[in-house]
Structure formats: structure tokens, C-alpha cells
Amino acid sequence: MARLHFFEFEDQSWFPGLLRAQMTDYLVYAVRQLRSFPSYAASRLAPALRARGQRRLVDLGSGSGGVMPEVVRALADEQGIQAGALLTDRYPHGAHAAEVREEPTGRVDFHPDPVDATHVPADLHGVRTLFLSFHHFRPEPAREILADAVRAGSGIAIFELTERRLISILGSVPGIPVMVLLLTPFMRPFQWSRLLFTYLLPILPFLIFWDGLVSHLRTYSVAELEQLVAELDAPDWHWDVRRERLPGMPAACTSLVGYPRADPAPESASSTSRS
């Protein structure tokens, strides 16, 4: 299936911030049900952090924070890496997200100013991460995001749960409105506006359905990510692209992890592995 870059509401500067926040809040709540995802992400991030002893993640397109608080805890508890994370977004609204505010290690912060993932400020150092947000970028800016991480020497990791395959789309997208209706009463903090836009004027089920469908249609395949990597000038970098099932979950994750080798060898070629 060819990649289709249809319109997503979340990308629009005119889109009301309240609805944007409620959509990304839902995403956090839904993805947190995939219990093994943070541990999986931590295991994929650990080599990038260890390669050059880095201890900071700079997350791009963070929305309401995603599962970053859980990833930071999994890095500490399961990988022995005491890392911190700076969450950023082009439309920053996640600073008040309960999971970020109440994160017990205090090592997860939200950057208050807008950060466009295609123009990361030079003073934001750390391994760059994009959770469920790389599909927002067409191939040229997507390549530039990878190239800029290489220039910054920082390492980069991308995680996508959506997939551009009919079986994946049919298996998850039609159920989105029902899931929104079922999960909303359990979301915290409680907001009357969330109930209003879910049950009385049910636009959130539609908005989340639409952006979910378009996210699937935009998601890069393993082969396309490998192609983007192959076009980079990064001979001393290690690259690992794969799609694999999340342990114990009825879901899979496409991920790309790239980082400068700890001991760069001038003659070495970049390596790409997939499973």
C-alpha cells in the first residue's frame, strides 16, 4: 500500500488547543494499556544512551507526554540508566499532564516553548526520540530529522505502533470510536469538557478515529526507514530498524534506533538490521 499523507487535525495550527490536548490525552491513556511498551522502548533506547554515556532524552512531538514517564522508570529499574527526558512539541500543551507533573523521579520536564521537530534548537542536547510522531513528516523533512540528529551527534530513536497494512488498519481503526466511548470515563484528571466532546457533542471519537486512520496510512515501513537511513552520510553510526511484537501484547512496534558508535572506525560501514 502506497504511503498517503492525508490531513491530520493535530497538525493544523488553527486546531483548538483544548481538543488537541484531549486527543493526545486519549493517546496516552490508550497506549498505557500496552503494559510492555515502556520496557520495550527502554530496551531499544539503552544502547543509544550507553554508546556515548548520554543520560538525557529530548522527545519531539510529545503531545501530552506519551509513555515517557514510564520509559524513564523502565530505563532506571530495568537497564540501570538514570536518564532524564525533556518533552517538546510544536504546540506545547503537555506541561499540565498528570503523568508528567506527578512523575516520581522528577526527571521528566516539559519544554514550555514550541519546538519544531524539523528545527531542533542546538542547545537541546540528548538522544532524540519520536514516539508515535515520525509519521507526521513527509519523506524530505523525515530525512532531515534523521540528518540533523547525525549532525548533532546525538542519537535518535523512533517508535510507531501504527502500520500501513490493510490487516493492521482493519484490526484497529474501526474500533477506535467505541474504545474512546468506553475508556473516557476512566481518564484522569476528570474534565467536564472531555465528557461534553465525547458523549453530548461526540466530536472526539470522530477526530481520534480520523487522525488514527491517517496515521496508519502515513506510517513508514521498515524498508522505507532503511531507505531513509541509507541516504544519510553517517558512516560511523549504528542503525537498527525493525518491527516486532510487543512482549505479551496483541500489538507490534516499528522502531528505528541510530547512534554514533562508541569507538568510531573511519573505514566502518553503517549497519542496518531488521527482524
Ligand X SMILES: C[S@@+](CC[C@H](N)C(=O)[O-])C[C@H]1O[C@@H](n2cnc3c(N)ncnc32)[C@H](O)[C@@H]1O
Give me the residues that bind ligand X (CB under 6 A), please.
10-11, 24, 27-28, 60-63, 66, 89-91, 116-118, 131-133, 136
Of the pair 66, 205, the CB lying nearest ligand X is at: 66
Distance CA 232, CA 126 (A): 20
Residues 6+ apart with CB under 8 A from 29: 183, 186, 187
Of the pair 40, 131, the CB lying nearest ligand X is at: 131
Q: Which residues of 204-239 are buried (b: 16+ CB within 10 A; e: fewer)?
A: bbebbbbbbbbbbbbbbbbebbbebbeebebebbbb
Of the pair 34, 195, the CB lying nearest ligand X is at: 34
Least distance between ligand X and beta carbon 19 (Å):
12
Least distance between ligand X and beta carbon 246 (Å):
14
Sign of the four-CA dihedral 191, 195, 200, 206:
positive
Length of the chain, please?
A: 275
Least distance between ligand X and beta carbon 13 (Å):
10
Least distance between ligand X and beta carbon 261 (Å):
28
Least distance between ligand X and beta carbon 204 (Å):
14
Cis-peptide, bond into residue 189, ω within 30° of zero: yes
Of the pair 54, 62, the CB lying nearest ligand X is at: 62
Least distance between ligand X and beta carbon 264 (Å):
30
Amino acid at 214: V
Least distance between ligand X and beta carbon 89 (Å):
5
The answer to whether 183 touches 198, Cβ cutoff 8 Å, is no
3-state SS track over 22-35: HHHHHHHHHHHCCC
Of the pair 134, 238, the CB lying nearest ligand X is at: 134
Q: At what angle do helices 139-152 and 222-230 cross, to 10 degrees?
A: 50
Of the pair 77, 116, the CB lying nearest ligand X is at: 116
The answer to whether 29 touches 180, Cβ cutoff 8 Å, is no
Least distance between ligand X and beta carbon 66 (Å):
3
Of the pair 198, 215, the CB lying nearest ligand X is at: 215
Of the pair 107, 128, the CB lying nearest ligand X is at: 128
Burial of 262 (0-12, 13-18, 19+ CB in 10 A): exposed
The 3-state DSSP class for residue 275 equals: coil
